[in-house]
Every structure is written in structure tokens, then in C-alpha cells.
Amino acid sequence: MRILITGGCGFIGSHVVKEALNRNFERVVNLDSLTYSGNPKNLHGINDSKYHFIHGSINDGGLVESVILEERIECVIHLAAESHVDRSIRSVKPFVETNIDGTRSLLEAILSSRDNGISTDLIHVSTDEVYGSLGAGERPFSEDSSISPRNPYAATKAASDMLVEAFVNTHKLSASITRCSNNYGPNQFPEKLIPLMTLNAMDGKKLPIYGDGQQVRDWIHVSDHVAGIFSTLDALSRKQIDPGEVFNFGGDCEMTNLEMVGEILLQLDASEDLIEFVPDRPGHDKRYAIDYSKASKLLDWKPVVSFQRGLKETVDWYKNNSDWVKSVRTGEYKNWINEQY
Ligand code: NAD
Ligand code: TYD
């Protein structure tokens, strides 16, 4: 198959691109506008004539349509997004522009390509955050949980999910939506919890924990998420699932932020004195947890990377890739850290 990946220079996108090449897709096209979190170094060393990078935005509908038509794209994995909750609290505009209007632009390009003879399947990569927040004793989110986003990032992802569902219903688009919990692994931009805390601890800097650190996240290794995305695509393209189906993916790994930071400190043999409690994130979601029994039943999917192994490999990756770290800690990154902390 010939695949278009949007946001392929980001954290998860770069793992999707590498997996598509491993899986011998006939053509792998990566469309990425290279925002602050998009980094061509994430794909450094790929030397494969099947791979083609296009520097451009999903908001440019004409470009997206011409890529689909010229490359005869048969499936799209859509990851391009603004992805950081804290940034969405400071400024929501880029989130509306990319996550909502960018998805609108991609959907329209897919429709007009179909009118011009090229039909594509779409996997829309979304997040568990669209379900809102759970209390301590509540059941994990299933695909039937209500959509009730509580931060601006999650609201824009929920809106994009609804646009996708509307296009499936109205225009008979062949699309499926994936909703995954918090990912970790190599190449994650160090604004997110695990890489931020790892790099700060390596440098002997303070580890800023929001509020009391008792918020819970369900951590999943990025490779397990990527496997889930490709399982969904396989099932959709083989018509084993109906268009419009949603699949949740989670890691069976609920931890408080304080527990997570403790694990990182252990890996690095660093002192707990580095922990610093800072003012809480406004509207901070208390708990995310995922029920992935639907994916397990229909896609034969389950997470396979153990947290201990995954975290050790991730921390080692940050230790061993100081050039990458140096390259992402540029002016923009420094400005963000100064503004936020
Ligand atoms: P990321 O911020 O690391 O990467 C986003 C990528 O999208 C970057 O390469 C960026 O340059 C690109 N991009 C942004 N705007 C674009 C545009 N207009 N056109 C083309 N490219 C554009 O994000 P990530 O963590 O890799 O997340 C990828 C996707 O997965 C997002 O849709 C996110 O909502 C979803 N997701 C992330 C997680 C997680 O834990 N990170 C969990 C569930 C779902
Ligand atoms: P993050 O990695 O931003 O993911 P998300 O907000 O999408 O879950 O944050 C994970 C958790 O870590 C979240 O509860 C907020 C918390 N956190 C901190 O306590 N300090 C920090 O500096 C950051 C970035 C996050």
C-alpha cells in the first residue's frame, strides 16, 4: 500500500514512519510542517527510496490533495497536531488552527481526491483526553464513555474526532479513530513529563511537579501505540471493521506523577531532593485510564512492552543521544521553559 503520514517528524509520527518502512509499504510519504516539535533528526539515517518527505501543512488543502493524487495514496495516518496541554492553556489558537481546521482541510482533500478517482482509508490518531477526567474509583474509559474534554487541547481533539465521524456518516468516508493514553519512548519532545524530568534530573535541575503530584496517567510505550494504529489500519483496509469505529489503546500502567518521577530518579540514581512542587496546572485532569478490551477482541491487540523495560530503554536513549537533546533545546525551547516554569 501507498501511505501518507501527517506529522511524521513528531514523536509518535517518527515511530509510525519507521514502522511503515519496516512493514514494506510500497511508498511512505511524510507531510510535516516542522513546528517546534517536528524534528527531521527523528528520522535521521533513513535511506530508503520508498520514503518521501514533504515540508508542508495539512492546512494547505491544495497541497494535500495534490500529494494524494500524485502519489496515488491509499491510506492516511493522521498525527499532525498541536499536542501539549500546557501550551493550549497559554494559547489555544494554534490548536484550533491545526487540530480542527487542519483536520477539516485534510478531510476535504481526501473527499476531493475521491472525486478524482483515488480512494483512501484514514486513521485519525486521537487521545483518551477527549473523555475528560476520571475519579479514583471510576471504571476506565471505554469507547462508549462520553466525550467531555476539559482542557483546550482535548477540546480541539474532540472537535476533530467529531468532524471525522461526521464525514464518515455524511460522505461515507472510510475512517477509524484511535484514542490512546500517555505515550513515552525515544524522541519525545522534552516539554512532556518523562523527557522533561529525565533531562532535568540528568542536569541536576529541579523537577517541577504540578500540584500534589497525585494525578494518574496510564503510560504506554510508543511502539505499542504504533502497533495498535497499524492493526486498526489493517482491519479497516480489509473491511474487517466498519468505518467510524473507535479503538482505545492503553498500557495497563496507571501511575501517579510522583510515582513516575520516583522511577525516573531511580533509573538515574538521582536524588529526590530535586523534586519541587510548583503551582498546579489550571483545570488539571485527575486521572486517565483505558479499557482496551475492544481492541483486544477485534484487533487482537495488547500492550507488550513492560514499563520497567520501556522506561529503562527510554532513559538510556536520552542519556545516549546528547546531540539530539542539544538540537531540540534551541531558542524556542528555552523560551517555553522560561515562560512556563
Ligand atoms: P508532536 O507534537 O511530537 O508531533 C506533532 C507533529 O505534527 C510535529 O512533527 C509537527 O511539526 C507536526 N505538525 C503540526 N502542525 C502541523 C501541520 N499544520 N501540518 C503538518 N504537520 C504539522 O506530537 P505527538 O506526541 O507525536 O502526537 C502525535 C499525535 O498523537 C497527535 O495527534 C496527538 O494528539 C496524538 N496523541 C499523542 C499522545 C501522546 O502521549 N503524545 C497520546 C495520544 C494521542
Ligand atoms: P504531560 O506529559 O504534559 O501529558 P498530559 O498532560 O497530556 O497528560 O503531563 C503528564 C502529567 O504530568 C500531567 O498530569 C501533568 C504532569 N506534569 C507535571 O507535573 N509537571 C510538568 O512539568 C509537566 C510537563 C507535566
- Please tell me which residue in 19, 65, 82, 129 is annotated as part of the active site: 129
Q: For 296, what's the count of Cα atoms within 13 Å in the CB-facing half-sphere?
A: 11
**Active-site choice (82, 128, 191, 285):** 128
Of 28-42, 43-57, 327-341, which gets the smallest average pLDDT?
Answer: 327-341
Catalytic status, residue 129: yes
pLDDT tens per residue, range 4-31? 999 999 999 999 999 999 999 999 999 9
Q: Do the Cβ atoms of 78 and 106 come closer than 8 Å? A: yes
What is the β-pairing status of strands 254-256 and 216-218? antiparallel
CA dist., res. 240 & res. 206, Å (int): 49
Of all protein residues, the one whose alpha carbon is nearest to atom 21 of ligand 1 is 32
Spell out which residues line ligand 1, taking CB within 6 angstroms: 6-7, 9-13, 31-35, 37-38, 57-59, 79-81, 83, 98, 102, 125, 127, 157, 180, 182-183, 189
Q: Report whether residue 193 contacts ligand 2, using a CB cutoff of 6 Å.
A: yes
The Cα–Cα gap between 124 and 122 comes to 6
pLDDT at 31: 98
User: CB neighbours (10 Å) of residue 163?
Assistant: 18
Looking at residues 249-276, what average pLDDT do you find?
98
Burial 304-325, CB ≥16 within 10 A → b, else e: ebebeebbeebbebbeeeeebb
Max CA distance (Å), the chain: 62
Residue 332 has pLDDT above 90, yes or no: no
At 291, give phi and psi (nearest 5°).
-100, 110
Q: Could you read off the pLDDT of 204-226 as tens digits, one per residue?
A: 999 999 999 999 999 999 999 99
- The ligand whose atoms approach the alpha carbon of 5 most closely is 1
Nearest Cα to Cα of residue 188 among 2, 11, 8 = 11
Q: Is the pLDDT of residue 264 over 90?
A: yes
Q: Give the C-alpha separation, 257 to 245, whole Å.
A: 31
Asked whether residue 330 carries a pLDDT value surpassing 90, the answer given is: no
Quick: pLDDT tens for 64-76: 999 999 999 999 9
Categorize the per-residue pLDDT at 263 as very low, low, confident or very high, splitting at 50, 70 and 90: very high
Give the residue from 188, 171, 144, 221 showing the smallest Cα distance to 38: 188
Please give the pLDDT value at position 167: 98
Helices 257-268 + 307-320 axis angle, to 10 = 60
Confidence of residue 331 (pLDDT cuts 50, 70, 90): confident
Q: Compute the average pLDDT of residues 106-135.
A: 98
123-179 pLDDT, tens per residue? 999 999 999 999 999 999 999 999 999 999 999 999 999 999 999 999 999 999 999
In this prediction, residue 238 carries a pLDDT of 98
92-100: average pLDDT: 98
The SS3 assignment for 209 reads strand
pLDDT of residue 34: 96
Residue 174 is predicted with a pLDDT of 98
Amino acid at 209: I
Q: What percent of the chain has pLDDT over 90?
A: 97
